[in-house]
Amino acid sequence: MNIPRLIATVATLCSTVWAQPQDLVYTLPTDNTALYSTGGADYYMYVDRLFEGEKSTPWQAGTYGMVRNPFRPQPGAPIMFSRFHEGVDVKPIYRSGNGEPQDMVRPIAPGQVVHVSTLPGHSNYGRYVVIAHEVPEGTIYSLYAHLASVCCNVGQHVNNQQEIGRLGYSGVGLNKTRAHLHLELALMINSRFAEFYTGENKHGNFNGLNLVGFNPTDALLACRHGNTFSISSYFAKLKEHYRVAVPCVRGMDILRRHPFLYKGSRTERTRPQSLEIAFTAEGVPIGIYPARRHVTQPFIISCRPMPTVQQNCTVNRVKNNSAKAALTISGLRYVNQYIWTGTPDEPSVANTAP
């Protein structure tokens, strides 16, 4: 038997299987299974909080969403939160005698390793790994951050039984006590981000600024009993918070990679004059609609009312109240990231809101 040839044949077959888009069943990234039982403080790592003179360690701050930096919009009003946490923080269940976390981290679904950052100082994520997953609606990405060590390589195909690293506390603002895995599930905004972004960028297209995260807990819970997870069905249930009118540029990258986001007719004979992008409060794009208005710069056309200024609810991308909602400087930059194509007819990537 020609063993090398057999190995090569198996590898080719595996590569073919990996390349086929398919609905995925997402599984837990560590041996911590409390998400499926007690949840709460048994699964999510807390943060140390001082608010209104009281110290606390809320596990809720380890969940996804606007869960950090508490404030009251006015005296006596319910507490709100102004800081976005784009993933979930999974606490360790194994520690050595000196308290070092020992939990190994696995992919939440089969995929290909597309980015490995082993130098903690290069990102707030510390050591992190990004894995691409091919699904019928396009490629989605899972990100695993604050690792103590990494044991995978770019280009490697992995399944959800393989170890890719060990849980740790690399990155900014962590210590041994609060060691955890930061997990994200995301879409890539623009596959030409490395050309668009003018700041220091050590991670190319896999910079966290180019990965817009949605709630990974929702996917994990949906797949608890072996069910697959459809991103298009999930996005259809998310709540729109604001909508932005943008120029209709040719070759909008996210639409090319995720056609399900387009809510117009694919048989239209004429090109829309403009587009409208619907976002959740966290900035997840859940629909892109054709429109007839003439647009030269992105601007807000609708925004959900809130009991505080919109900066506190939208990751500082929308300002004022809903009646006078407008994009902030960072909001305009964020929206322009979606429509930037690098072609002569693209809109100006301005740093001031209209």
The DSSP letter of residue 261 is G
Q: Are 273 and 296 spatial neighbours (Cβ–Cβ below 8 Å)?
A: no
What does the chain come to in residues?
Answer: 354
- Report the C-alpha dihedral over residues 178, 181, 187, 191, rounded to 10 degrees: 90
The pLDDT value recorded for residue 276 is 98
What's the CA gap between 7 and 13, in Å, rounded?
A: 10
Task: Choose between 288 and 346: higher pLDDT.
Answer: 288
According to CATH, what is the number of the domain 14-236? 2.70.70.10
Q: Take residue 37 and report the two structure tokens written for it.
A: 């039982």
Please count the helices (runs of H) and the strands (runs of E) in the chain: 6, 19
The tens digit of pLDDT for each residue in 94-148 reads: 999 999 999 999 999 999 999 999 999 999 999 999 999 999 999 999 999 999 9
Segments of the chain assigned to CATH 2.70.70.10: 14-236
The pLDDT value recorded for residue 325 is 98
The pLDDT value recorded for residue 318 is 98
Burial zone of 31 (CB within 10 Å; 0-12 exposed, 13-18 middle, 19+ buried) = middle
Q: Is the pLDDT of residue 253 over 70?
A: yes
Strands 181-188, 211-214: pairing is antiparallel
Average pLDDT, the chain: 91
What's the CA gap between 195 and 257, in Å, rounded?
A: 18
The tens digit of pLDDT for each residue in 318-343 reads: 999 999 999 999 999 999 999 999 86
What's the CA gap between 171 and 183, in Å, rounded?
A: 14
The average pLDDT across 287-292 equals: 96
Q: Is the pLDDT of residue 8 over 70?
A: no
Long-range pairs, 65-74, Cβ under 8 A, ≥24 = 65/215, 65/282, 66/281, 66/282, 66/313, 71/308, 71/312, 73/307, 73/308, 73/312
The pLDDT value recorded for residue 271 is 84
pTM, entire model:
0.91
Q: Are 327 and 353 spatial neighbours (Cβ–Cβ below 8 Å)?
A: yes
Q: Is the pLDDT of residue 18 over 70?
A: no
